[in-house]
């Protein structure tokens, strides 16, 4: 009988365990995570949870009895420090000194927020958002905070900014680049979000150069910009990207790039006994062309975990799922499908100022991705089209009279 | 606790006690009911928790909102008259005994 050790009890780790059972795997499954909680949903932490609309129990991905019924051993609050694959069986050692023997391993170690490399970053009130502990910390200070400064105009920062503004706070978003969400969306979508947040009363500062964080009595009071201007802050929320947790992979000598664990289309690492899935992984994707991509999303965690579980169970099935993503900011629902990597043409359908529009991305004349804002029908049509390998002619996509789903062609 | 019954496309039934306020989707997923994928966790962003509400409960459950309506139009299984995304149906005592059939295709 084969024993599987899964390191990391987030969305991907949980899904590997569940999918192993779905594929008839009968060996032992142990899921070890360093947080004090069982597997839970992260997306609500920057949205519903902050506003009290979700409690910790409601974030659980599965009920405790589910794991018992499916013979999945979940071990929270324990960190795997060392892994040895030199023997016939693998051996992991945790921070409690416990030793775990296994035959195959899955790394679902996720990522950690990039820390602000700025003077004053250690001040109290400078916060990051990744796990429940971070969200609880943010929530604790939320009601008393009048001024919120968000450093980093990516998804997590903009979601928190939108929530803070809805709760009546003075909100400033500081972005180092010349547009928001630059890594994930087109300039058209970036510009829409700048304007939309400004319309709601948030100050968005692009090309912002932060010199230091200032404080009093050890607590942050403001963010100083080049030129000396200080923006008052009771909370500084930092969302400047994440770093893949590749420590164990590096320790094992697996192939990594900047910490991200390199896998093939079967979620296999460079060691055949080890699979990896989720945020920590660098993977090939058919929609990404030749580029290897990192996909930091629930969809990727779930779908890649399913591939990894199949591989562990001896079923060869390459990862082909169409990536998709969403971000809720105030009353704006952004939905993304596909991969825009290497696009050479965009088509805007609808009028961004109406707060309902889509941007379609093309490469060499073929549809590869869409960003939709409050335009669910467009998003669903493109997601379906990409899933079946179809396209939508760019020259017809702007006609709002015609639903996109009627324009899909091979 | 209100009860909810899920009927799989192959006819297998599962009846669960729902936590008051949990959605029909959450109740299913947390207890491992197959066929309800719900990748977005209830944000009405993925249309992978598609169910057909039993006719007897259709009026009580009500119609989908505009956003959900558009999502259902693009769902993997063709929508029917009582189609809903189960993440948008919150359980309460009024819905005790609710029966939903799980759509055959979700992704």
Give the pLDDT confidence score for residue A48 in this predicted structure: 86
Q: b or e along B9-38 (b: 16 or more beta carbons within 10 Å of the residue's beta carbon)?
A: eeeeebebebbeebbbbbbbbbbbbebbbb
Quick one: A272 exposed, middle or buried, by C-beta within 10 A (0-12, 13-18, 19+)?
A: exposed
* A179 within 8 A of A194, measured Cβ to Cβ: yes
- Beta carbons of A377 and B30 less than 8 Å apart: no
DSSP class per residue in A259-283 = TEEE--TT-B-SSTTEEE-STTEEE
Q: Is B41 on the interface with A (CB under 8 A)?
A: yes
- The minimum CA-CA distance between B59 and chain A, rounded to whole Å, is 25
Q: Is B29 on the interface with A (CB under 8 A)?
A: yes
Give the pLDDT confidence score for residue A20 in this predicted structure: 97
CATH 3.50.50.60 domain range(s) in chain A: 4-112+242-312, 115-238
The CATH number corresponding to A331-406 among 3.40.50.2300, 3.80.10.10, 1.10.4100.10, 3.30.390.30 equals 3.30.390.30
CATH code of A4-112+242-312, in short, is: 3.50.50.60
Q: What are the angstrom distances between the C-alpha of B87 and each of A336, A347, B26, B51?
A: 20, 32, 7, 10
Residue located via tokens 């939709």: A372
User: Using a CB-CB distance cutoff of 8 angstroms, which residues of chain B are in contact with residue A326?
Assistant: 40, 43, 45-46
Give the pLDDT confidence score for residue A52 in this predicted structure: 79
Q: Mean pLDDT score of chain A, rounded to an integer? A: 96
Report the pLDDT averaged over residues B57-61: 96
User: Using a CB-CB distance cutoff of 8 angstroms, which residues of chain B are in contact with residue A63?
Assistant: 30-31
- Beta carbons of B29 and A61 less than 8 Å apart: yes
| Measured CA angle at A288 (ends A379, A363), to 5 deg | 70
Give the tens place of pLDDT for each residue, A55-103.
Answer: 888 899 999 999 999 999 999 999 999 999 999 999 999 999 999 999 9
Give the pLDDT band (50/70/90) at residue A50. Answer: confident
Position with higher pLDDT, A410 vs A193 = A193
Position with higher pLDDT, B33 vs A58 = B33
Q: How many Å apart are CA A56 and CA A76, to the nearest integer?
A: 15
Q: How many contacts does A have with B, using Cβ atoms within 8 A?
A: 63
The structural domains of chain B, ordered by start, are 3-102 (3.10.20.30)
CATH 3.30.390.30 domain range(s) in chain A: 331-406
Looking at the structure, give the CATH architecture of the domain made up of residues A115-238.
3-Layer(bba) Sandwich (3.50)
């Amino acid at each position: 009988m084969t024993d599987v050790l899964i390191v990391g009890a987030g969305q991907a780790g949980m899904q590997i365990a569940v999918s192993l059972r779905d594929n008839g795997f009968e060996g032992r499954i142990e899921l070890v995570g360093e947080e004090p909680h069982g597997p839970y949903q992260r997306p609500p932490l920057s949205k519903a949870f902050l506003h009290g609309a979700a409690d910790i129990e409601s974030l659980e991905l599965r009920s405790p009895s589910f794991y018992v019924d499916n013979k999945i051993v979940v071990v929270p609050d324990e960190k795997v420090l060392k892994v040895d694959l030199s023997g016939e069986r693998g051996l992991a050692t945790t921070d409690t000194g416990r030793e775990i023997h296994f035959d195959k391993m899955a790394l679902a170690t996720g990522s950690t927020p990039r820390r602000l490399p700025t003077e004053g970053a250690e001040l109290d009130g400078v916060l990051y958002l990744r796990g429940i502990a971070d969200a609880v910390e943010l929530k604790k200070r939320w009601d008393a905070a009048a001024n919120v400064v968000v450093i980093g105009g990516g998804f997590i920062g903009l979601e928190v900014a939108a929530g803070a503004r809805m709760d009546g706070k003075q909100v400033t978003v500081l972005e180092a680049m010349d547009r928001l969400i630059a890594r994930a969306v087109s300039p058209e979508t970036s510009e829409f979000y700048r304007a939309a947040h400004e319309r709601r009363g948030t100050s968005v500062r692009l090309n912002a150069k932060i010199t230091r964080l200032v404080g009093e009595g050890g607590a942050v009071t403001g963010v100083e910009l080049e030129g000396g201007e200080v923006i008052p802050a009771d909370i500084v929320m930092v969302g400047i990207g994440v770093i893949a947790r590749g420590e164990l992979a590096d320790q094992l000598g697996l192939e990594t790039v900047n910490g991200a664990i390199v896998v093939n289309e079967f979620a296999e690492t460079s060691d055949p006994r080890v699979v990896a899935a989720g945020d920590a992984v660098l993977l090939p994707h058919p929609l990404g062309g030749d580029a290897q991509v990192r996909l930091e999303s629930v969809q990727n965690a779930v779908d890649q975990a399913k591939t990894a579980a199949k591989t562990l169970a001896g079923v060869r099935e390459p990862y082909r799922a169409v990536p998709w993503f969403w971000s809720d900011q105030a009353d704006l629902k952004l939905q993304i499908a596909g991969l825009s990597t290497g696009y050479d043409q965009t088509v805007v359908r609808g009028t961004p100022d109406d707060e309902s529009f889509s941007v379609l991305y093309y490469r060499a004349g073929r549809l590869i991705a869409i960003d939709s804002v409050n335009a669910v029908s467009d998003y669903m049509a493109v997601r379906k089209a990409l899933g079946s390998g179809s396209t939508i002619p760019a020259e017809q996509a702007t006609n709002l009279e015609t639903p996109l789903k009627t324009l899909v062609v091979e | 606790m209100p009860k909810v019954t899920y009927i799989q496309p192959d006819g297998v039934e599962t009846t669960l006690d729902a936590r008051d306020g949990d959605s029909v989707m959450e109740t299913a997923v947390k207890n491992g009911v197959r066929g309800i994928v719900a990748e977005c966790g209830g944000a009405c962003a993925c249309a992978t928790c598609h169910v057909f509400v039993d006719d007897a409960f259709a009026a009580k459950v009500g119609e989908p909102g505009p956003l959900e309506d558009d999502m259902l139009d693009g769902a993997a299984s063709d929508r029917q008259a009582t189609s809903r995304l189960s993440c948008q149906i919150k359980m309460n005592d009024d819905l005790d005994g609710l029966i939903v059939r799980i759509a055959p295709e979700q992704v």
